[in-house]
Amino acid sequence: MKKLWTALLLLSICAAPAFAEKYDVSIPADFVNSQFNDLVKEAGTAIAYRAVAPAEPGGITGFDVGIEASFIKIDNALWDEVLDSNDVPSYLPVPRVHARKGLPFGFDIGASYAMVPSSNIKVIAGEIQYAIMDGSMALPALALRGHYSTLRGVDDLDLETYGADAVLSKGFLFLTPYVGVGVLRSNGEYTGSNATLKENLQDQSETSQRVFGGVQIAMALLRITLDAEYAEVPVYTAKVSLGW
């Protein structure tokens, strides 16, 4: 347990400097469709669900709960327009609480909740996973995941994402590396009160691909998972959890 609290403290310290500014999202009156399209693509990638886990099924008794922080590479010029901040960082931090539960017949379900400090950004997301191959001493595990996420708290933007991933992993002692590919759909709509923006900003739907990989380090009940994703923008995630 002491190791868990130490890891959580280190994760918080790494993210804390980026929370000194205010990150409320609002769409400016001079925003145009091309900018709105770029925002939907980048914000969709930012809020998309990430399992941050190998492909092995947890089993009916399996459970994993913890916290994570994703750091998303953003277009500073674009986000300078929509964030209430004097100094937009190169990487936007998104902290989450995260839980996954194993089910019978190779299924797992997961959910996460994100709330960016000093911001109106909140994200609710979930997944369902099915293991095609459970994995063994000789064979890797292979799983398919479906996921959904929705943005909350931002009056000017209705944004949701959904998609599917295929994940392959193989454990070695206390390390379990994994790789995956997926497709992500982002749907965005302007929902603010500006009449000109309502007339000019069209609803946006964008489909993109993502590839990702990582490694889970298990030490008794403590799990530390590091994950890198390349999609519309790069995303780097660290997760600390308790699992069995």
Whole-model pTM over 0.75 = yes
What is the Cα–Cα distance from 78 to 91, expressed in whole angstroms? 13
Task: Output Rg (C-alpha) for the chain, integer angstroms.
Answer: 18
Give Cβ neighbours of residue 243 (< 8 Å, ≥ 6 apart): 58, 62, 63, 64, 65, 66, 218, 221, 223
**What tens digit of pLDDT does each residue of 155-178 get?**
999 999 999 999 999 999 999 999
What is the Cα–Cα distance from 53 to 193, expressed in whole angstroms? 40
Long-range interactions of 103-108: CB distance < 8 A, separation 24+: 103/58, 103/60, 104/60, 106/57, 106/130, 106/131, 106/132, 106/134, 107/57, 107/131, 108/57, 108/58, 108/62
**What tens digit of pLDDT does each residue of 72-83 get?**
999 999 999 998
Asked if 236 and 76 touch (Cβ cutoff 8 Å), the reply is no
Q: Is the pLDDT of residue 215 over 70?
A: yes
The CATH number linked to 21 is 2.40.128
For range 208-229, the mean pLDDT: 96
> 232 lies in which domain range?
2-243
Per the structure, how many domains does the chain have?
A: 1
Asked if 57 and 108 touch (Cβ cutoff 8 Å), the reply is yes
- The 3-state DSSP class for residue 127 equals strand
For range 97-109, the mean pLDDT: 97
Tokens of 219: 């030490």
